[in-house]
Structure formats: C-alpha cells, structure tokens
Amino acid sequence: MANLEIIDKEKELLSRVAAGDRDAFGQLYDFYAPKIFRFIRLKVGSQALAEDLSSESFLRIWEYLKEQEREIEESFRGLLYRVARNLIVDYYKRKSSQEILIDDDFKEFLEGHLIGDDLRVSEDVEEVHRALVKIKEEYQDVIIWYYVDELSVPEIAKIMDKSQGAVRVLIHRALKTLKDHLEEVE
C-alpha cells in the first residue's frame, strides 16, 4: 500500500475509533502490530520483552488517543513508532546495567518467525541483526524505519523531531556504518 493510501486509511480508522468503533482499533492493531513487534524485536534481546513492549505500545497509544481533543498532527504509525522507541529507551534506563543487545536466542527465534523457507534469508537476517545491534540506536532506528518499514523521510523526521535534511544525513551515515560492520564479517 502506498504511503498516501496508508495515511488515508489511518484517518478513516481513527475517526471510527473516536466514534467508539472497536473493530477500527482492531484493524489498526492488525496492520501495525507485526511491524511494531518486528521493530522492537530487532532492538531488544528477547521475544518475551518484544511482545510486552509491543502490547504496551498499543495501550499507551490508546491512552494518548483518548486524551486528545483535537486531531493528532502526525501520522498514527509515526506516533506508534515514537511510543515504541520511547518504551525501549525507558526500559533500558530502568535497568541498572545495559542488557546485552546481542541475544543468544535470535537464531532460534528466527526458526519459528520468518516468512518463507529460504535458508539464505535466515542467514541474511541473522547477519544483518548482528551488525545492527553494534551500531548506535539512532542509526538502528532509521535503518529499520526507512529500509524495512518503508517510512518516508518526513515521517521519520517527525518521529525523531529532526529536520528532513538531518534525517537524510542520518540515513546515509547509518547505512555506511552498517555496511562497514557487514563487510567486517565477510
């Protein structure tokens, strides 16, 4: 679905949510839950944690929508990613020491959680994940948002509260850094 179509669909569903339509919120969940889970899972060390934070993201966004008396100024998905990212940051702040970001069970996790049957895909994903967790958080975020979830530069800029130019530079640097880490392995 093209970005504009997604935004239009979101607006329609959000106005139905505002009118108390439970099914509309369900549809938003159906569309975004796998993406939010994926985003969080790539950044945290366990599936259970990713699941908890994903659920928390939706609860938090519901609370946010309830409080709003006027239309939200950014896209719903942008907001959702911002909430998810903040929850990850909060989680690590609460821990007394930094969790190991490279988790042992990611390969095992992939066995039941990868669409498609290609061994090569599984190896690629594992390789990219290993490189991703070595680069800084901002770089991880923009790589996932821009290349994996295909958000636009303006959307990413709103999430990160940066200018579009700054986001473009960030994407360029993030990709270069990731590439360096991937080439190290080779």
Does position 172 bind other proteins by CB under 8 A?
no
Cα gap 65→164, rounded to integer Å: 26
- 30: tokens are 């159906």
- C-beta separation of 151 from 167 below 8 A: no
Q: Would you say 30 or 69 has its CB closer to other proteins?
A: 30
By CB under 8 A, name the one of 82, 85, 129, 158 that touches other proteins: 129
Q: Which one of the spans 93-101, 110-118, 134-142, 157-165 is the region binding other proteins (CB under 8 A)?
A: 110-118
CA gyration radius, the chain? 17
Burial of 65 (0-12, 13-18, 19+ CB in 10 A): middle
Place of tokens 């369900």: 26
Any contact of residue 18 with other proteins (CB under 8 A)?
no
Are 37 and 48 in contact by the 8 Å Cβ rule? The answer is no
User: What residues numbered 132-171 form the site for other proteins, per CB under 8 A?
Assistant: 143-144, 147-148
Contacts to other proteins by CB under 8 A = 20-23, 25-27, 29-30, 33-34, 37-38, 41-42, 47, 50-51, 54-55, 58-59, 62, 110-117, 119, 121-122, 124-125, 127-129, 143-144, 147-148, 175, 178-179, 182
